[in-house]
Amino acid sequence: MTDDPWVVSETQRARLRYRRRRTLQRGLLAVASTVVGLGLLSWLVTSAPGWITVQARYFDLDEARTALPDVASAFWLNVRLFVVAEVLILVVAVVVALVRVVPTPAMAPVRLLAVVYTDAFRGTPTLLVVYLVCFGFPALELQGVPTSLFWLGVIALTLSYGAYVAEVVRAGIVSVHPSQALSARALGLTYGQSMRRVVLPQAMRRVLPPLLNDFVSLQKDTALLASVGLVEALRAADIQAKQNFDFTPYVVTAAFFIAVTVPVARLTDWLALRQARREQGLAS
């Protein structure tokens, strides 16, 4: 500690002045170029020969008001679908990923099954899985197989996305340095304990961004269930649109999807930032 009080030097003050001026200049430039860019774009769109027709067909306020209640209540079905599916997908993904990384020779047959599952379902278009499950499962006429379209839809999405997410989780597990598992084992933790307490928590934190990315994708893909007759948001919009030959309900539906996916993306960023700050000991 010194008694000498710190008087900011003239050099430092000049630097600060310069930085402030530069920040201001750059900010103004960014604002100006954004305004010009957006202006150009909207001019381009609105001056297009078909703009009047498009405006009437896609952005009709009255149509939007009429479609809103139906689309909104149908969208609630999409929300229920993806919330239930996301929970199941996580369970399936973690189980499949674990089966694939456990080195026990006795697990070989199960491991093979897990590999076949991920390969098959990642390789099949989700729409096809939806068809196969929603039409195929009830045709089996098995006791206990759900017949409601809601649950068949959830099963189809879980099967398809479980394969993707399993690979994401596995990548996360593999990315945790072996020394972490080694020191957990050295402390006397069993394989299962070190996986659960040390490896998986770190893996899941690391894969959070790609995981939520897959979930955003899943939220949109609930619309695929429109193809088998489930009246979710897209199907509701479809019904409305075909009554008046007006596409505004589709735009309304799009707005609903954006309204749920954007917050998820922001949440991901925020979680990642909070994690980094906490573990690096930076002030939050």
Site residues (vs another protein, CB under 8 A): 179-180, 182-190, 193, 197-198, 201-202, 205, 278-281
Q: Which is nearer to another protein, 144 or 188 (CB)?
A: 188
Q: What is the closest distance, in whole angstroms, from the C-beta atom of residue 164 to another protein in the complex?
A: 24
Q: How far is the CB of 188 from another protein (least distance, A)?
A: 3
Measured from the CB atom, the residue of 54 and 189 that comes closer to another protein is 189
If you write DSSP's letter for every residue of 76-138 in order, what string do you get? HHHHHHHHHHHHHHHHHHHHHHHHHH---GGGHHHHHHHHHHHHHHHHS-HHHHHHHHHHHHH
Contact yes or no for 154/82 (Cβ under 8 A): no
Nearest C-alpha neighbor of 165 from the set 234, 228, 100: 100
Q: Which is nearer to another protein, 12 or 193 (CB)?
A: 193
> Nearer to another protein by C-beta: 9 or 280?
280
Q: Residues 6 or more apart from 154 whose CB is under 8 A from it?
A: 81, 84, 85, 88
- Name which of 194 and 219 has its Cβ closer to another protein: 194
CB of 110 vs another protein, minimal distance in Å: 22
Three-class DSSP labels, 235-268: HHHHHHHHHHCCCHHHHHHHHHHHHHHHHHHHHH
Q: How many CB atoms lie within 10 A of CB 67?
A: 25
Minimum CB–partner distance for residue 191 and another protein (Å): 8
Taking the C-alpha atoms of residue 10 and residue 7, their distance in angstroms, rounded to an integer, is 9
In the bound state with another protein, the residue whose beta carbon lies nearer, of 101 and 189, is 189
Length of the chain: 284
CA atoms within 13 A on the CB side of 49: 0
Question: Least Å distance between CB 269 and another protein?
Answer: 19
Minimum distance between the CB of residue 204 and another protein, rounded to whole angstroms? 9
* Distance between CA atoms of residues 73 and 246, nearest Å: 20
Nearer to another protein by Cβ, of 106 and 140: the residue is 106
Question: Which run of H or E residues covers position 15?
Answer: helix 10-46
